[in-house]
């Protein structure tokens, strides 16, 4: 494992690399981070899994970090690509896991990709449009709250579907959109149903809550397939390309900016993934900070810096620090 000292040396040498954005700040002391945030940042966007917790473990100092920022008058938002929870469910999860008083967090601070999907569809479709959903009850709740008629595959139906089943099955009719969110009960039947819907309704919208390839679970960092694996399977079968409304899409950035009036140049995005969190912040003009408690570790940064010198272009943060507890 590459240590932080080796990482710092790599970053300091980055000016010699053709494609590397410089300088990258490496913060290792609390005062460095807090001073910068106090002077230059008004709004902080947190990714959740890998930043505040790595399910089911909480990152040390996460609660104190959030409470300290809010005491100092900073606007705090939680921007997650996890579509399994509605905004109220995400708030409840955070208050319970981080042991924050319920009154200190509001639903309006929760910016999940389930909510982003509902907002996007509201802009594109009439109220009461029919939406076929692959995803969790939380995603369905957000879409129903936005006024859509949610259709999904009943839980009692078998997971398989062969050619004989297809010929006899009554596929949902008059579907205006297909939305795909992370679904631990994803099945061949759901994949087939969504494929046929997109085939029979060529003008139906195809929306992905995110395209994350995988996430990490627990201190052993076990890989769990992400929503991107589901989305790509449907893209392959349907010959359609989904609209991504999660990080790093500009659609999500515009939603946050318009709803909360953020000055993006004084906004910090804190995340653990280069391809979603950091790309999202960079593309939107935010200050980006990477923590090393999630998907991207020090060794990954080191390897990326080496590849940059060989012509590979990967989004890099403005700053790196070990964990959010240093921001308390």
Residues annotated in a binding site: 47, 49, 247, 272
* C-alpha pair distances (Å), 258 with each of 127, 161, 251: 21, 43, 11
Q: Is the peptide bond prior to 56 cis by the omega test (within 30 degrees of 0)?
A: yes
Burial label for 155, CB within 10 Å (0-12, 13-18, 19+), is exposed
Which residue among the candidates 35, 40, 42, 49 is catalytic per the annotation? Answer: 49
* 47: annotated active-site residue: yes
Q: What's the number of CA atoms in the CB half-sphere (13 Å) around residue 169? A: 20
Which residue among the candidates 47, 176, 183, 215 is catalytic per the annotation? Answer: 47
Residue list, annotated binding site for Mg(2+): 47, 49, 272
Quote the CA–CA distance of 293 and 27 in Å, as a whole number: 14
Strand 287-291, strand 267-271: pairing: parallel
Beta strands (DSSP E) in 189-236 are 205-208, 214-217, 222-225
**Are 55 and 84 a contacting pair, CB within 8 Å?**
no
Alpha-carbon dihedral 128, 134, 138, 144, rounded to 10 degrees: 0
**Are 3 and 297 a contacting pair, CB within 8 Å?**
no
* 40: annotated active-site residue: no
Reduced to 3 states (helix: H, G, I; strand: E, B; else coil), residue 310 is: coil
* C-alpha pair distances (Å), 101 with each of 92, 95, 136: 10, 6, 26
Q: Which residues are CB-neighbours of 303 under 8 A, at least 6 positions away?
A: none
Residues belonging to the active site:
47, 49
């Amino acid at each position: 494992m590459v240590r932080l000292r080796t990482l710092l040396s790599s970053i300091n040498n980055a000016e010699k690399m053709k494609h590397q954005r410089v300088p990258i700040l490496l913060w290792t002391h609390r005062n460095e981070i807090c001073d910068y945030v106090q002077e230059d940042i008004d709004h902080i966007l947190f990714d959740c899994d890998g930043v505040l917790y790595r399910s089911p473990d909480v990152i040390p100092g996460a609660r104190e970090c959030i409470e300290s920022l809010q005491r100092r008058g900073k606007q705090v938002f939680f921007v997650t690509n996890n579509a399994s929870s509605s905004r109220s469910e995400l708030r409840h999860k955070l208050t319970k896991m981080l042991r924050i008083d319920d009154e200190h967090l509001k639903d309006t601070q929760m910016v999940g990709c389930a909510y982003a999907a509902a907002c996007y569809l509201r802009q594109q479709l009439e109220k009461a449009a029919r939406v076929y959903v692959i995803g969790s009850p939380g995603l369905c709740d957000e879409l129903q709250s936005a006024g859509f008629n949610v259709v999904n595959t009943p839980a009692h139906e078998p997971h398989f579907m062969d050619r004989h089943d297809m010929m006899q099955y009554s596929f949902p009719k008059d579907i205006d959109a297909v939305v795909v969110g992370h679904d631990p009960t994803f099945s061949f039947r759901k994949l087939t149903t969504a494929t046929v819907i997109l085939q029979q309704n060529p003008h139906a919208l195809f929306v992905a809550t995110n395209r994350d390839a995988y996430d990490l679970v627990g201190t052993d960092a076990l890989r769990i397939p992400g929503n991107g694996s589901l989305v790509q399977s449907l893209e392959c079968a349907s010959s359609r390309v989904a609209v991504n409304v999660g990080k790093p899409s500009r659609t999500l950035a515009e939603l946050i900016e318009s709803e909360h009036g953020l000055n993006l140049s004084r906004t910090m995005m804190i995340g653990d993934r280069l391809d979603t969190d950091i790309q999202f912040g960079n593309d939107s003009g935010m200050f980006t900070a990477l923590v090393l408690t999630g998907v991207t570790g020090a060794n990954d940064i080191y390897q990326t810096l080496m590849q940059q010198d060989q012509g590979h272009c990967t989004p890099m943060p403005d700053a790196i620090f070990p964990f959010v507890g240093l921001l308390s």
